[in-house]
Structure 1
Amino acid sequence: MKRDAFIVLIGLGLAALPLVVGSYWVGLLTQALIFGGFALGLDVLVGYTGMPSLGHAAFFGLAGYGTALAITRWGLNPWLAAGIGIVLSLAVALAFAPLAVRLRGLTFLTVTLAFGQVAWGLATRGGEFTGGENGIPNVARPSLGFWDLQTPVGFYLFTVFWLIILTLLVSRFVASAVGLSLLGVRDSDTRMAALGYNVQARRALAFVVAAGVGAIYGMLSVFYNQFIGPGSLDWRLSAQMLLSVVIGGAGSLWGPFIAGTGLHVLKTLLTGQTERWPMVLGALYVITVVLLPGGLASLARKFRRDRPAAAAKPLDSRVVREP
């Protein structure tokens, strides 16, 4: 409950930011929170299961393309279109996950990269249907009666609302018995299999959860920008999200969120100063590996270790529950 209250409190703090910042920052923070939430979802796969992916931008982009196509090509209601986009992305994740999770390490990384590039290629060469390299413009935002989503502040608050809901769900998932078992799979899949756990099923579940979170944020992104292009599927977005997890601290949730949000803000602010963003991102990664091997989250862990020791808590029964 304390964790839930903390998440809601942070969300309320974010919701209050439009009171003290201008419209430029409201727009920038909207997109930044979308990427921060995307990185938080990816942490379920990378940090809790130990499977780094270079293809999860595909699920972010598939949801966006599905939503945009349903609105602009078929004239569907934006809410229905959003549902179609998310279901499309989840369906692809469910089909791909059982195959991908049989692989490990560099092989898994390479296969997810190839998968993402296939999705990018289909969008780029989709002709008039996908808009090709020009993408799909003029995507209508949904309406919500009392909640005006057409204004920058209104959509920002809508994004914060989804951020709170998804963060609560992900936080509860990783703290559940199934979520805790993912850590066992990450640390010793052989031992977990010997204990009777279905290792492949748990990896596939983490894969789909990360894809589902990415899909919802992909839907938010296309509505915010009212545009979708191949860049939403590009491997470079996947790489930025993966590095956000590493820089923030894999397995901490809040660390990847802070890093994902901060990196987008930094990238936007540096766009007018330098075209070498990949070099800046690489430098941040090297600095993190050298100075903070555990990412930003390691700073908090160090702070807790430096505090006076508290009485040990009883062992969580979920950790020792029979599979």
Structure 2
Amino acid sequence: MVAVAGLSAAALLAGEFHLRFLAEILIIGTAVMSLDLLVGFGGLVSLGHAALFGAAAYAAAVAAQHLGGNLLFILGTGIAMGAAVAALMGAVIVRTSSLFLLILTLLLGQIVWEIVFHWRDVTGGADGLRGLPPLSFGPWVLSSARPLFLLAGLLALAALWLAHSFVDAPLGRALIGSREQPIRMSALGYSIPRIRFLTMLVAGAIAGAAGALYPFVNLYIGPQSVHWTLSATMIIMLVIGGVGSLWGAFLGSAVYLAIQTYISAYTDRWQLFVGLIFVLTVLLLPNGLAGGLRRLASRMRRRRAQQA
């Protein structure tokens, strides 16, 4: 309810630029949250997650150019592409872990980047794609910032609910078990590769849904959206927000994008601020901003109980 109230207030009070900025935070936060399923609950650190997000964004943009911007079709295209890339990546990495998994996801992600960068006739190459038709839902055209922001908010809430449901389901519990005790889980009859593969599919579908909306909010999609540096940025956002918290992904993306957007207007060395916050988070808040807020709320509840 608090999230819905916040989205409604922002939609009424914020201007065009800030609504698009908030929509970008929600979309990137949704993609980071899907990465949290792999990193926070599966212990699978990936440097190829941007490939899932960016491939879906390109697929949605190309589909919109040729077939129009019907919202359900665009979302379906993004989800299908994100899940398809995740399936291909998952088939290769499910039996690896730690450093080998990191390197494999990096290589697979860069293969996607090479395709996007050199397939100029379809993707626009280094120039990317612009001038996309607006999204539409029935008779409504979703081209202005306010409906796009509300759409991004609804997507974030739906993705957060789906991620929580996945974590609470038997498959999610098995994923956590495979991270903590892989040998014992195998001895109990669980197929760890199958668990990881299904998790990749869910994470890819969520990232794909976020990627499908991204070109229409950002009004552009370029090859940097599939580059490994975006995957590294997502990991930084996740650590700042809190690994394993799900909703912390939105906090991390908000902090990073706010620094990138506002501090970069005053200095080209805005990444120093990101690095400082990252180091302070690791040293002082090992569970991220979400963990710090939970701890603060717990202390406040205990204090109220003592006063009562």
Residue matched to 1:251 = 244
**Letter paired with 1:57:** A
**Distance in 2 separating the partners of 1:278 and 1:118:** 27
Matched, 1:263 2:256: yes
SS in 2 for 1:51: coil
**Which residue among 50, 69, 72 is the counterpart of 2:62?**
69
TM-score (norm 2): 0.91
- In the TM superposition, 1:1-323 aligns within 5 A as 8-72=1-65, 74-76=66-68, 78-79=70-71, 80-145=73-138, 147-303=140-296, 306=299, 307-308=301-302
**Letter paired with 2:113:** W
Q: 1:264-291 deviations in whole A, cap 9, x for unaligned?
A: 1221112212223443322222111111
**Letter paired with 2:147:** G
Residues 37, 77 of structure 1: alpha-carbon distance in 2 compared, 3 angstrom cutoff:
closer
CA contact (8 A) 2:241 2:249 kept: yes
**Distance in 2 separating the partners of 1:273 and 1:118:** 36
C-alpha deviation, 1:300, in angstroms: 3.7
**Distance in 2 separating the partners of 1:207 and 1:11:** 29
Q: 1:155-176 deviations in whole A, cap 9, x for unaligned?
A: 1111111111111111111111
Q: 1:154-203 deviations in whole A, cap 9, x for unaligned?
A: 11111111111111111111111211221111111111111211111111
Residue matched to 1:4 = none
CA contact (8 A) 2:85 2:204 kept: no
C-alpha deviation, 1:114, in angstroms: 1.4
C-alpha deviation, 1:128, in angstroms: 2.5
Residue matched to 1:321 = none
Residues 223, 253 of structure 1: alpha-carbon distance in 2 compared, 3 angstrom cutoff:
same
**Distance in 1 separating the partners of 2:239 and 2:290:** 10
C-alpha deviation, 1:305, in angstroms: 5.6
SS in 2 for 1:107: helix
Q: 1:228-270 deviations in whole A, cap 9, x for unaligned?
A: 1101111121111111111211111111221112211221112
SS in 1 for 2:136: coil
Identity %: 36
CA contact (8 A) 1:35 1:217 kept: yes
**Distance in 1 separating the partners of 2:280 and 2:141:** 42
Runs of 4+ more than 6 Å apart: none
C-alpha deviation, 1:71, in angstroms: 2.7
**Distance in 2 separating the partners of 1:91 and 1:199:** 20
CA contact (8 A) 1:46 1:245 kept: no
**Distance in 2 separating the partners of 1:258 and 1:90:** 25
Residues 305, 160 of structure 1: alpha-carbon distance in 2 compared, 3 angstrom cutoff:
closer
C-alpha deviation, 1:89, in angstroms: 2.5
- Superposed CA RMSD in Å reads 2.0
TM-score (norm 1): 0.87
SS in 2 for 1:53: coil
SS in 1 for 2:132: coil
**Distance in 2 separating the partners of 1:146 and 1:70:** 20
**Distance in 1 separating the partners of 2:31 and 2:254:** 9
Residues 161, 182 of structure 1: alpha-carbon distance in 2 compared, 3 angstrom cutoff:
same
SS in 1 for 2:135: coil
**Which runs of no fewer than 5 residues in structure 1 stay unpaired?**
1-7, 310-323
SS in 1 for 2:34: helix
CA contact (8 A) 2:25 2:253 kept: yes
CA contact (8 A) 2:81 2:208 kept: no
Bigger proportion of residues as helix: 2
Q: 1:34-74 deviations in whole A, cap 9, x for unaligned?
A: 111111111111100011111101011111111122232x3
C-alpha deviation, 1:127, in angstroms: 2.1
